[in-house]
Chain A
Amino acid sequence: MTASTGTGGAAAKPEPTPTATTRPFWNGLRDRKVMLQYSPSTDAWVFYPRVLAPGSLTDDLQWREASGAGHVYSYTVTRRPTAAPWAADVPQIIAVVELAEGPRLTTELVNVSDDAVKVGMVVRPVFCDSKTGGPTLLRFEPAAGPADSQEERP
């Protein structure tokens, strides 16, 4: 894990380090695609990326492009920073999004006021490029939001 200085002069925010197994996911985000693994034998989409399908340990994982559509499975609005690097982000909306294909992932909701978020809210991806050369992060915004907000603007 590398650390870079985030926006707003906050403390360094840790950035992910792609691995040989996970790199297609990160490359996908860079190219504005949500790439997930899929296991044909179990008809299950997989997140996070693995070398074998979770549960069955089947060796049949293949990369496919997912729709990117999803809904808010749960969320929390932080009123205190979870840690120093996120001090400038309060209130931060940390969320778990369930993708249309099934897998859930941890993310952050952007372009939405914290009192408008609801569990079940339909969301779409926001591809957030790093300002310091790190991997693009996958955040989400309400699907009913402005149609032109495919870039991060928090």
Chain B
Amino acid sequence: MAYAGSAAIAGFSEWKPEQRSRAEARYFTTEQWALLSRQALDDAGIAPGLVDGIATAGFPETSMMAPATVTEYLGIEVGFAEYVDLGGATSAGMIWRAAAAIDLGLANVVLCTVPGTPIPELASRTEGGRTYLGSLSDAVGSPQAEFEIPFGNVGQNAAYALIAQRYGATYGYDPAALAKIAVDQRFSAQANPAAIFCGKPLTVADVLASPMIAEPLHMLEIVMRCSGGASVVVARADIAASGPNRPVAIKGFGEGVAHRTPSYARDMTVTTMGRAADCAFRMAGLRREEVDMVSVYDCYTITVLLTLEDAGFCKKGEGQAFVTEHDLTYRGDFPCNTHGGQLSFGQPGIAGGMSHVCDAVRQLMGRAGAGQVQGAEVAFVAGTGGLMSEQVALVLAAQ
């Protein structure tokens, strides 16, 4: 591995999620990009003039050239202008691309910004559109249009339910174990005032009594879309060290993508997180046992289960026993999604993926307040995009 580990996270900003229907559609994506970035740079103590790299996702106001749209709006010239298109793994994907660019000398300070609040007039513009498609494309020539959508396999719920059902048929299914993931995360959310479900504790019985949406997934195992947004400043380690925060070194990273629709996965119960995590730990020179907390993408409880298994924190098929035996809360023996996870923090669109980066960074910087994991030095972050189909792993360490 040639990555020298020269990049660190210097600061971040994160908007408190709100129910999407209640969020004020005030700012367009470029405007949110600017506002979030300015807040993150202020947090990092880095002057905006030092920014020479950006990573952005696509956004509704432009069908192409999103990075140039952002640099023009910000009024900056950069040596690294990245477009990341990995669904929920986009945020984690931005972080490692920024680190690699810094390591290669392309940039010194890279903004990874993910707006997640409704833009003005978005509602009216998508009224007639097929928003129900989720991550599927209905364009003629797209395999989803031809082989998925006609059967109603649209949105995310059915696909994740298919994965969970297959998992259960292979390894057995313990609904209470899956529910416990949501419950432990909800416990942690009680210590995070920014979490949308702060103040609303949850029991396993509550989860199992919530309506069945697509068997075996209950409503309270499914993420709720919210408004929000986040920005993370990735900088050369020495620049990060000059700011007010304890820098968080990006030690290792990995990625795995094989398919878009799980029907065509080699094995629906095995994700590409395995190769991503192996690559990340090898690059970091760290072992799983050295991780103090994990923040893994949790659009559904089954996502967490498969990620913990495939990332190597427990053996394949033993995830349910693992989450049952371990306390996943911030004060437990295996802290997982201490911000509440997206299940309890809220999912501000693809910025939901950045909430896991921010969760880990907050812990490693020692800024998690009442939800602080004592002695957190090493964190593992996972991003999952599409229908369990795009995976990014990050290993982070406090400097």
Interfacial residues, chain A to chain B (CB-CB below 8 A)? 1, 13-19, 22, 48, 73-86, 89, 92, 94-96, 104-108, 118-120, 137, 139
Is B153 among interface residues, defined by CB-CB distance under 8 A? yes
Which of B130, B145, B165 contacts A75 (CB under 8 A)? B165
The residues of A that contact B102 with a CB separation of less than 8 Å are none
Docked pose: A94 CA to B211 CA in angstroms = 18
Does A96 lie within 8 Å of B268, measured CB to CB?
Answer: yes
Hey, what's the 0/1 contact readout for B121-141 against A, CB within 8 Å counting as 1? 000000000101100001111
Query: Known interface pairs A19-B141, A96-B162. Does A83 touch B214 (Cβ–Cβ under 8 Å)?
Result: no
Which of A22, A92, A105, A120 contacts B152 (CB under 8 A)? A92
Query: Known interface pairs A1-B139, A19-B146, A76-B162. Does A89 touch B211 (Cβ–Cβ under 8 Å)?
Result: no
* Chain B residue nearest to A26 in the complex (CB): B146
* Chain B residue nearest to A134 in the complex (CB): B150
Is B34 among interface residues, defined by CB-CB distance under 8 A? no
* Chain B residue nearest to A79 in the complex (CB): B212
* Chain A residue nearest to B145 in the complex (CB): A1
The residues of B that contact A92 with a CB separation of less than 8 Å are 152
Does B158 lie within 8 Å of A94, measured CB to CB?
Answer: yes
Does B140 lie within 8 Å of A74, measured CB to CB?
Answer: no
* Chain A residue nearest to B150 in the complex (CB): A16
Is B199 among interface residues, defined by CB-CB distance under 8 A? no
Is B161 among interface residues, defined by CB-CB distance under 8 A? yes
Restricting to B196-237, which residues have a CB under 8 Å from any CB of A? 211-217
Which of B145, B153, B262 has its CB near the most chain A CB atoms (within 10 A)?
Answer: B153
* Chain A residue nearest to B164 in the complex (CB): A76
The residues of B that contact A81 with a CB separation of less than 8 Å are 152
Query: Known interface pairs A74-B163, A104-B263, A120-B169. Does A80 touch B213 (Cβ–Cβ under 8 Å)?
Result: yes
Which of A78, A82, A95 has its CB near the most chain B CB atoms (within 10 A)?
Answer: A82
Docked pose: A74 CA to B164 CA in angstroms = 9
Given contacts A1-B145, A19-B141, 12 further A-B contacts (CB under 8 A): A1-B138, A14-B138, A19-B140, A75-B165, A76-B215, A89-B152, A92-B152, A94-B162, A96-B162, A104-B264, A119-B168, A120-B169
The residues of B that contact A18 with a CB separation of less than 8 Å are 146
Hey, what's the 0/1 contact readout for B248-271 against A, CB within 8 Å counting as 1? 000000000000011110001000
Does A76 lie within 8 Å of B212, measured CB to CB?
Answer: no
The residues of B that contact A94 with a CB separation of less than 8 Å are 151-153, 158, 161-162, 214
Does A106 lie within 8 Å of B211, measured CB to CB?
Answer: no
Docked pose: A107 CA to B163 CA in angstroms = 15
The residues of A that contact B150 with a CB separation of less than 8 Å are 13-16, 137
Is B45 among interface residues, defined by CB-CB distance under 8 A? no
A13 CB to nearest chain B CB (Å): 7
Which of A73, A83, A108 has its CB near the most chain B CB atoms (within 10 A)?
Answer: A83
Does A96 lie within 8 Å of B215, measured CB to CB?
Answer: no
Which of B152, B168, B262 contacts A83 (CB under 8 A)? B152
* Chain B residue nearest to A118 in the complex (CB): B169
The residues of A that contact B331 with a CB separation of less than 8 Å are none
Query: Known interface pairs A96-B162, A96-B268. Does A79 touch B149 (Cβ–Cβ under 8 Å)?
Result: no
Docked pose: A17 CA to B139 CA in angstroms = 10
Does B145 lie within 8 Å of A17, measured CB to CB?
Answer: yes
Is B119 among interface residues, defined by CB-CB distance under 8 A? no
The 4 closest A-B pairs by CB, nearest first: A83-B132, A119-B169, A76-B161, A74-B166
Which of B141, B143, B165 contacts A76 (CB under 8 A)? B165
Does A14 lie within 8 Å of B145, measured CB to CB?
Answer: yes
Does A105 lie within 8 Å of B169, measured CB to CB?
Answer: no
The residues of A that contact B168 with a CB separation of less than 8 Å are 119
Is B148 among interface residues, defined by CB-CB distance under 8 A? yes
Docked pose: A139 CA to B217 CA in angstroms = 23
The residues of A that contact B157 with a CB separation of less than 8 Å are 78, 80, 82
* Chain A residue nearest to B146 in the complex (CB): A16
Query: Known interface pairs A1-B140, A84-B132. Does A78 touch B214 (Cβ–Cβ under 8 Å)?
Result: yes
* Chain B residue nearest to A137 in the complex (CB): B150
Does B146 lie within 8 Å of A48, measured CB to CB?
Answer: yes
Does A77 lie within 8 Å of B214, measured CB to CB?
Answer: yes
A24 CB to nearest chain B CB (Å): 13
Docked pose: A84 CA to B152 CA in angstroms = 10
The residues of A that contact B217 with a CB separation of less than 8 Å are 76
Which of B147, B166, B169 contacts A48 (CB under 8 A)? B147
* Chain A residue nearest to B169 in the complex (CB): A119
A109 CB to nearest chain B CB (Å): 10
The residues of A that contact B141 with a CB separation of less than 8 Å are 19
Is B193 among interface residues, defined by CB-CB distance under 8 A? no
Is B304 among interface residues, defined by CB-CB distance under 8 A? no
Does B166 lie within 8 Å of A73, measured CB to CB?
Answer: yes
A108 CB to nearest chain B CB (Å): 5
9 CB-based A-B contacts, threshold 8 Å? A1-B145, A14-B130, A14-B149, A19-B146, A79-B212, A79-B215, A83-B155, A92-B152, A96-B268
